Amino acid sequence: MQGRFFVNSNAFDQILQEHYNNGQVFVDKDFPAADESLIDPNDEIDDLMELGPVTWRRIRDIPALVDQNGELHIFQGYIEPSDIKQGQIGDCYFLSSIAALAERPDRIRNMFLNDDANDYGVYGSVMYKNGIKMCVVIDDLIPCKGNKAAFARSNGPELWVVLLEKMWAKLHGCYDRIAGGLEYETIRDLSGAPGYFFRGIDDETFEKIFEYDEANYVMGCSMSDTYDQALAEQQGIVPGHAYTLLSAAEVLDINGNTVRLVKLRNPWGSGEWNGDWSDASPLWTNELRQQVGFDGSRDDGIFWMDFNDFKEVFGFWSVNKTLDNSHYNYIVM
């Protein structure tokens, strides 16, 4: 054991087998259901203090996470980025990261050492810390306000979001320490895939986005620190917020002019750009919507922008070179 974590994933199997044999529910003494797992004592400005009293509940005692038959599932049907709902902690970068990985559901499934939920509250994942592959094992005691999970959760009765967030908090020492971060570093530590951060967006960026999308790499972006925040909010963009960068496309508008578009997602699952090429923009024709596979009929956090608007509003972007069915033994820093 290295600190609070295991280097070998066999540790998860041993813990699960032990509790299967003795019939007892797992209690993780390394990440206890207590304030020390919530609050960073060195944080002078602690947003979590504003939460008030928090109770820790077993997943089975959280109604929204149990299906109508009283059963638990890590995954309920198809894994979708829209499954994710943010709670009362500023970890949008983390939710944006797992939403980006969820574009290809096997990337999320492969993170778990569990095949499905179990009656002993033992859950495990492989993550990376300082370039070292770690087995993170947790119990299923979840911080709650009332009978609802206080932090991130799924929109339906499935466990993968709430479990991954708790594993991420354990990896960093407490929930408080996961408020604020960078998407490319998070995807690197979740998947092991090397990540690259770029300051500034220019015309060459469009070609790179197009190329990386074709390779199924994971991308993210955030607003420029020089763009007017009040104007951004009027346009539906959240300052200081992490967005998933989904794809790029070139289309011909109704006048026959070539337009470069980029597709983004707000990890909140709602709140979208309302300028040119937004959902309700008159620039869309039925033919163009069909060409890029854009529905645009609901506020789901997914939207398109003209690349010229994108490079003005957004100033930072990143890519992680994720490869399906690949396992990374180390990270090249």
Strands (DSSP E) found in 215-269: 218-223, 242-252, 258-265
The strands making up 302-306's β-sheet, listed across from edge to edge, are: 195-199, 314-320, 218-223, 242-252, 258-265, 302-306
CA distances from 245 to 96, 117, 250, 330 (A): 10, 31, 16, 25
The CATH class that applies to domain 195-320 reads alpha beta
- Which among 135, 174, 241, 320 is annotated as catalytic? 241
pLDDT in tens, 39-69: 887 775 556 666 778 999 999 999 999 999 9
Candidates 92, 135, 174, 221; catalytic one: 92
Range list of β-strands (E), the chain: 55-58, 84-85, 123-129, 132-138, 141-145, 148-149, 153-154, 195-199, 218-223, 242-252, 258-265, 302-306, 314-320
300 by Cβ neighbours in 10 Å (0-12 / 13-18 / 19+) ranks as middle
Q: State if pTM tops 0.85.
A: yes
Tokens 């087998």 locate to 17
Select from 231, 240, 315 the least CA-distant residue to 273. 231
CA atoms within 13 A on the CB side of 117: 21
Per-residue pLDDT of the chain (333 residues; tens, 9 = 90+): 344 566 567 888 999 999 999 999 999 999 999 999 998 877 755 566 667 789 999 999 999 999 999 999 999 888 988 888 888 888 889 998 998 999 889 999 999 999 899 999 999 999 998 788 889 999 999 999 999 999 999 989 999 999 999 999 999 999 999 998 889 999 999 999 999 999 999 999 999 999 999 999 999 999 999 999 999 999 999 998 889 999 999 998 888 899 999 999 888 778 899 999 999 999 999 899 989 988 777 778 899 999 999 999 999 999 999 876 555 554 433
From 19, 174, 221, 266, active-site residue: 266
Q: Of 185, 178, 182, 189, nearest to 38 (Cα)?
A: 178
Residue 19 annotated in active site: no
Q: Model confidence over 120-168: pLDDT tens digits?
A: 999 999 999 878 888 999 999 999 999 999 999 998 999 999 999 999 9
**CA–CA separation, 323 vs 3, rounded Å?**
29
User: What DSSP string runs through 111-134?
Assistant: TBS-SS--TT--EEEEEEETTEEE
CA dihedral of residues 173, 179, 185, 188 (deg, nearest 10): 60
Return the domain boundaries, the chain: 12-181, 195-320
Q: Are 66 and 157 in contact (CB under 8 A)?
A: yes
Helical segments of 216-293, H only: 229-234, 286-292
Is residue 92 part of the annotated active site? The answer reads yes
Instruction: For residue 145, count CB atoms less than 10 angstroms from its CB and return exposed for 0-12, middle for 13-18, buried for 19 or more.
Output: middle
